[in-house]
Amino acid sequence: MHIGTIIKDKRLSLGLTLEQVAQAIGVTRTTVQRWETGYIKSIRSDKIPRLAAVLNVPAEMLHRLNDDDPKLPDSIHTFGSSAQELSSTSITDEAMAPMFLPGDVVWFAPVTGEISQGDILAVRLGTDVIVRFVYPHDDGFLLTTANHTSQPIILNKTTGKAVIVGVGIHANFTIAGKVVFFQRQVG
pLDDT lower than 70: segments of the chain: 1-2, 67-85, 165-170, 185-187
pLDDT tens track for 102-135 = 888 888 888 877 888 888 899 988 778 889 989 8
Q: Can you give the pLDDT at residue 167?
A: 65
pLDDT tens track for 95-104 = 888 888 888 8
Q: Domain limits of the chain?
A: 3-65, 78-183
Q: Can you give the pLDDT at residue 73?
A: 38
Angle, helices 29-37 vs 3-13, to 10°: value is: 120
* Cα distances (angstroms) measured from residue 101 to each of 6, 9, 60: 12, 14, 17
CATH class, range 78-183: mainly beta
- The size of the chain, in residues, is 187
CATH class, range 3-65: mainly alpha
Query: Which contacts qualify for 141-148: CB closer than 8 Å, 24 or more apart?
Result: 141/115, 145/95, 145/96, 146/9, 146/10, 146/13, 146/95, 146/96, 146/97, 146/98, 146/99, 146/100, 147/94, 147/95, 147/96, 147/97, 147/98, 148/13
Residue 112: which of 135, 81, 83 has the closest Cα? 81
